[in-house]
Structure formats: C-alpha cells, structure tokens
Amino acid sequence: MGQDNCKPQPGDLIEIDRPLYQHWALYVGDGYVIHLTDEGASSISLSSSSIRATRAKVKKQLLKDVVKNHKWRVNNKYDRYRTAFPVEEIIQRAEEWIGKEVPYNVLNSNCEHFVTELRYGEGVSRQVEKAAAGGLAAAVGSVVLAGAALVGMALSEGASRR
C-alpha cells in the first residue's frame, strides 16, 4: 500500500502532489483517509469578482482513490513546532466530520487547514503562507521596478533639459 516505502500510520498527514498545489488528507488506517473534497458539496460563486466562496464535503475514502496517479508522502512536518493529539483522539475528531459540508476558502479554510486542525488543534497551511509571501515578493518587486522606471525617466528628462 505505499509509495516509495511510505507506510502511513493512523493520524499521519498525507501530502498529495497535484498540479499547482498540494492536497492534504489524514490517514485513519486500513488504507483510508479523511479529507475535504468538492465532490457532492454545494458552492456559491460571486459573479462580480473572481473570488469564490465554496463549500467542501468531508469524506472518508481509500487513499489510492484520492491519490489516483499523483505522488504522495507522509508529511507530519508540523510535528517540529506543534504537539499532535493522541492518535485515538485525532481519529475520533476526524470521524466526527465525515459526511458534513464545511466552508472552504483557499486562504484560510482549505484541506491543509482542515487536517492540521484535526492533528494539532490549530489549522495551518504553509502553502498559503508561501504563496502569500511569493505574491508579496512579486508585488514589492513590481513597486521597485516601477520606482526605478520613474527615477530613470526623471533622470533622462533632467538630462535632456540641460
């Protein structure tokens, strides 16, 4: 059942590589994970903008069905900074959510937030933090380039007046 010697244990966080993002699930044993999916969930689109407020459904599915042909790994990376609940409590907390529809927001209520909340009691998403930092760096870079262009224009304008 594993990929490249991955042998998940109940309570482990599973990171699945998808194009452009990582999907997260919680391994609960016997080949099953609990995760957020948009399958069977209602969603609301805000037509006046590109922002979408959606809902997700909590499902228990076989890991192999969730992963499909994507790469995956056990990734309990937050264990270095947070204390996980006991395994029995993690599984119990996760199973209470099966079949429920929950708010979904890529920035503050996504699949990684969901599983880290179950494991640690706090929702964390490093991929959102990285994306936000990347966006901030791009924005700062654009401001710096725009500022440099304005300075360059002012300097060349000043030189042409001489």
Residues 48 and 10 placed together within one structural domain of the fold? yes
Give pLDDT, residue 128. Answer: 75
Residues 129 and 98 placed together within one structural domain of the fold? no
Residues 59 and 133 placed together within one structural domain of the fold? no
Residues 14 and 55 placed together within one structural domain of the fold? yes
Name the stretches of the chain with pLDDT < 50. 1-2, 45-51, 53, 136-161
Active site residue: 23, 35, 70, 113, which one? 23
Give pLDDT, residue 73. Answer: 96
Residues 52 and 15 placed together within one structural domain of the fold? yes
Active site residue: 6, 35, 70, 111, which one? 111
Range(s) of the domain holding residue 142: 125-162
Q: Tokens for 115, please give them.
A: 């599983």
Number of domains composing the chain: 2
Other residues' Cβ atoms within 10 Å of the Cβ of residue 76: 18
Residues 15 and 26 placed together within one structural domain of the fold? yes
Active site residue 111: yes
Non-local (6+) Cβ contacts of 95 within 8 A are 28, 34, 60
Non-local (6+) Cβ contacts of 74 within 8 A are 6, 7, 8, 9, 12, 13, 14, 15, 27
Helix pair angle (111-120, 87-95), 10° resolution: 130
Residues 78 and 138 placed together within one structural domain of the fold? no
Active site residue 23: yes
Give pLDDT, residue 42. Answer: 61
pLDDT per residue as tens digits for the range 27-49: 999 999 999 998 765 655 443 33
Give pLDDT, residue 134. Answer: 60
